[in-house]
Structure 1
């Protein structure tokens, strides 16, 4: 079982998370007020520091393909996590973006987020599958841009159905923490699991840093599951 953890904000916490056994580490290079967002320069520092220690993932909620391409050029992740509005970044747009980026970065992988809002998620996954390397099945919150960072679970039976139907590796996300990840794995049988909200340490002044003890517990539970 692979483990992905969002969102790294400093080199030191990224290295600590990698040492705790995380396989994929995510950064959120943005200026939209997203949870845990950082600027492009900091994201690049983290990505460079993690080389050889974990797979580097960078998230984008943008709908402008030029802005997404600019972020990839600046940060240079191993994986581009697309989690913007799928009505604005359609399968056709992902196809165009894929062709554009792979010409420059042949090893780049596309991780497409699927909003788990209901049975329509099955159709969305089928539509994006030809242009993606993997899926992340995530919950949606009205007050947060894009797909993810909602901190709540969704209907795991729908997630299980996507896992059964898809030929791609599937990451399960949405409200997962050390206490429920084993149950989630048993119910969905994904390729990997992801955590953001439930491996955070809230700060008194707002925002958060990663809780390395919670990350270690999440990794242990996931690998056991």
Structure 2
């Protein structure tokens, strides 16, 4: 099985073209507010998603917490997939599936302890995939991702084994550690932002190194 690559924090059409040319499978857009250094405005996202060629997926990262608000955000930006950063009420997740049945829905789970495993049963009926990250949504200053630090991959591996849905792995991934992450966790896909950037800009060399590390890990796990 080939591990998919998602690059998050895409902030311009030029970055999107660079990532697509590098062969990534998905682009992520941080529409989480001006406090985020990689925040991108909704009209910019809409322009990029319209131009992104298939089969590259486009992920809208949203901090909205209700089905109606999430759906409205999706309609403004036109992605193929929504990535829900908060642990929203499962009833809202169910409602979103009703009102946007054609939208791919990914629930973020922040791996702070084995309690993360409880999210599988709560959300599996209503989403298409999970994304494991290293945030702390309940901290005094909530972190919803983009921390640049790994979490406990042993818990992530347990989550992947237990999940009936595909699972993306995020959190502090780089060309240097992604091979070890894939070997231990066996995720459906890997997701990163800062690990392929230099001075905040998408770095084609780091991106190529990351893609090569992923391919090498895949080849080791799936020898011909």
What residue ranges of structure 2 are gaps of 5+ in the alignment? Answer: 218-224
Q: CA deviation at 1:164?
A: 0.5
Q: CA deviation at 1:126?
A: 2.3
Q: Equivalent of 1:223, from 210, 215, 224? A: 215
> What SS does the aligned partner of 1:130 have?
coil
> Which residue is equivalent to 1:153?
150
C-alpha distance 182-190 of structure 1, shift in aligned 2 (>3 A): same
C-alpha distance 100-53 of structure 1, shift in aligned 2 (>3 A): closer
CA contact (8 A) 1:7 1:26 kept: yes
What residue ranges of structure 1 are gaps of 5+ in the alignment? Answer: 203-207
> Which residue is equivalent to 2:75?
73
> What SS does the aligned partner of 1:52 have?
coil
Whether 1:187 aligns to 2:184 is yes
Whole-angstrom distance in 2 between the partners of 1:52 and 1:144: 37
How many residue pairs get matched? 213
Whole-angstrom distance in 2 between the partners of 1:61 and 1:125: 20
Q: Equivalent of 2:165, from 158, 165, 168? A: 168
> What SS does the aligned partner of 2:31 have?
coil
> Which residue is equivalent to 1:205?
none
Q: CA deviation at 1:32?
A: 4.2
> Which residue is equivalent to 2:37?
35
Q: How large is the Cα RMSD of the aligned pairs?
A: 1.6
> What SS does the aligned partner of 1:131 have?
coil
List structure 1 runs of 4+ shifted beyond 3 angstroms. 141-146
Whether 1:114 aligns to 2:106 is no
Cα deviation, 1:178-206, whole Å, max 9, x if unaligned, reads: 0100000011011111111211222xxxx
